[in-house]
Amino acid sequence: MYSKDTIYIIGDSKTTSNNPIMQQFNAFFIGLVVNRTSHLIVDADCSATISLTSSFVKQLFVGHSMLDMDSVVNEINTRYFGSSQKALTVAFKNAQIKYKQIIES
Q: What is the 3-state secondary structure (H, E, C) of 58-69?
A: HHHHCCCECCCH
Task: Considering only the C-alpha atoms of the chain, give the largest distance between any 2 of them, rounded to a whole number of Å.
Answer: 40
The domain segmentation of the chain, as residue ranges, is 6-104
pLDDT in tens, the chain (105 residues): 899 999 999 999 876 555 555 555 567 899 999 999 999 999 999 988 789 999 999 999 999 999 999 999 999 999 999 888 998 999 999 999 999 999 998
Predicted TM-score of the model (pTM): 0.87
* Rg from Cα positions in the chain: 13
- CATH no. of 6-104: 3.30.390
Length of the chain: 105
Burial of 12 (0-12, 13-18, 19+ CB in 10 A): middle
